A and B are shown apart, each in its own frame.
Chain A
């Protein structure tokens, strides 16, 4: 890896090598996405078209949004195990109140973001492990979702359906949406000064405290952002499926964590990448479903193959980040 450079410099400086490894880490999500796309193109050329991308990727938008939501919590050195059921709850509210009584729906959704912010405050003030608090909350959200929508059903508001089935010229909507999400969050978290503070609160909380920043405020901000993107994820999901089910988002908890890690984030806090997270979510969405469907694996092995693909993709990520150390 560190090739001996000619001339007087015996080795490339450790800093340069770290930078190269970091670049590799940054490129990995894009590389794995490209790899999965090439495999799909090879297995089913028909999928690589405007129509195909629309179908394959539209369900990746809510996953990408949930992944971004999870990324904010992970940036603050915490973990959110309730994001999946929260997305389901938002979905149920979207398919019922937001359509029938728009004002109540909006109030409930904003209120749920407030609950997330309060959770952040609770976790910080009482110094509770976020895993325990959010695991508990996951049952609360699930219960509320069943209360709102005891039987699967409801219908997405028309304006939401219109947005999610929007067909822009040339570029499929899911790709456009992914670009937009990645750009907005990248700018906010990586390019603004408060974004640096937010990431710093997870990466080096002691330093931030000494510098006089309120860690309570950063934690509340991170959790509120998670709530906000969770709400967006739930709404996007219902815009695609057209109707809701209390269990609709349950799988998103683990998908979102895997998406963040695949996208170059780490559990230690502060080290996250919004662009990577979006790419990671797209890769997961593609690897888990279209790739698997196109491979014609016998039914008995499909479930295991899905897991194997996840492990392979994540293992490649771990190999590269180990090189960085």
Chain B
């Protein structure tokens, strides 16, 4: 009898041993390098909502946010080092540079800290990367353009912030798309920095020198500015791919109501920060099978569903999606299969 008891106790111990680790005492920090635009604000908002609930539900012990005062790499490297000293179990990071933070990231890994990067990802192999398939997004822009402009024609490309991996990836995707659709030709390229005013100025400057343009492929945050530049110059309105910003979707809605204007909108959801958070939680939970590179889909809107999303976006904000723990588990599963 006694033996049986001991055995069953032993069995129970074994069972609990195989169960996943408890993360209720774990602390996750978020190191953010910039908070000065609508996308980043939405990112922080989503993160705040989801992590507050996770802390209240005792899924994790703490989830604190740290934003650096400038966009500088050394400041963020110092911040990561301080987070190591603070004794966090995991760091979710939107990094100022893909490479230049590797020294600090490695120090964090060596101290046994889980690092999950997203949006501005880091190349240090020990970190996890939640990556949106920007290249596919760029390619898809041209695919969609082919639907709206079946005859093809001249395209204007608006690039993002020079020197970033995101700009590179979207641009590569667009080039790939154009190669697959030889009826399109990129006749001009400007830098819009994902910002309506910058884009408007840049487009207005290049417009007089351009032949007729049927469409604009861009990176989000620049579509409304481009539309303004065309309107100001009195040029016919081309098909402008949008980037999920509130002002862009609002303009789209106005045009659609006026004459059935058609386009497509896509961007990375700022709420991807919450997906990174859940990935960190899953790693702390003891999962060993999570790939270090996780590819997640971007958020796209079509002619049929963008109007439903519009009321939920704050004035001057950007469409987002807050991910749940189940979403993260599903995303991890999808990436393991690949």
On A, residues with C-beta under 8 Å from B are 44, 46-47, 51-52, 55-56, 58-59, 62-63, 146, 150-154, 237, 240-252, 285, 288-290, 292-294, 296, 299, 302-303, 306-307
Contacts and interface: CB of A to CB of B under 8 A. Distances in A.
Interface string B92-108: 00001111111110110
A34 to B, nearest CB: 19
Contact of A56 (B35, B85, B99): B85
A44 B71 CA distance: 26
24 contacts: A46-B85, A55-B82, A55-B84, A55-B85, A56-B82, A62-B74, A151-B168, A242-B102, A245-B96, A247-B73, A247-B97, A247-B163, A248-B73, A248-B97, A251-B72, A251-B75, A288-B69, A288-B75, A289-B82, A290-B82, A294-B82, A296-B64, A303-B69, A307-B69
A56 B81 contact: yes
Given A288-B75, A307-B69, 12 more contacts: A46-B85, A55-B84, A55-B107, A241-B73, A241-B77, A241-B104, A242-B99, A243-B102, A248-B73, A289-B79, A299-B65, A299-B66
A248 B97 CA distance: 9
Most interface-central of A58, A146, A289 (chain B CB within 10 A):
A289
A290 B107 CA distance: 16
Contacts of A293: 66, 79, 82-83, 86
Main secondary structure of the interface of A (DSSP, over half): helix
Most interface-central of B64, B65, B103 (chain A CB within 10 A):
B103
Contacts of A294: 82, 86
Contacts of B106: 242
Contacts of B99: 152-154, 242-245
B32 interface: yes
A242 B106 CA distance: 10
B126 to A, nearest CB: 13
B312 to A, nearest CB: 22
A289 B75 contact: yes
Interface string B16-37: 0000000000000000100100
Contacts of A244: 99-100
A241 B69 contact: no
A11 B207 CA distance: 77
B180 interface: no
Contact of B66 (A55, A146, A302): A302
Most interface-central of A52, A63, A243, A294 (chain B CB within 10 A):
A243
B44 interface: yes
Nearest to A146: B163
B67 interface: yes
B102 A59 contact: no
Contacts of A59: 74, 77-78, 81
Contacts of B71: 247
Given A55-B82, A152-B163, A242-B103, A237 B65 contact: no
Contacts of B104: 241
Contact of B74 (A44, A154, A251): A251
Contacts of A306: 69
A250 B101 contact: no
A62 B69 CA distance: 19
A15 to B, nearest CB: 43
A59 B70 CA distance: 15
Nearest to A51: B85
A46 B87 contact: yes
B97 A245 contact: yes
A75 B2 CA distance: 85
Contact of A299 (B67, B96, B102): B67
A237 B74 contact: yes
Nearest to A251: B72
Contacts of B75: 251, 288-289
Interface string B39-80: 000001000000000000000000011111111111101110
A194 B32 CA distance: 47
B23 to A, nearest CB: 21
A201 B101 CA distance: 41
Contact of A245 (B73, B82, B103): B73
B73 A150 contact: no
Contacts of A249: 74
Q: Which 3 pairs across A and B sit closest by C-beta, in order of nearness?
A: A306-B69, A243-B99, A251-B72
Nearest to A84: B72
A54 to B, nearest CB: 9
Contact of B77 (A44, A150, A240, A250): A240
A302 B103 contact: no
A288 B69 CA distance: 9
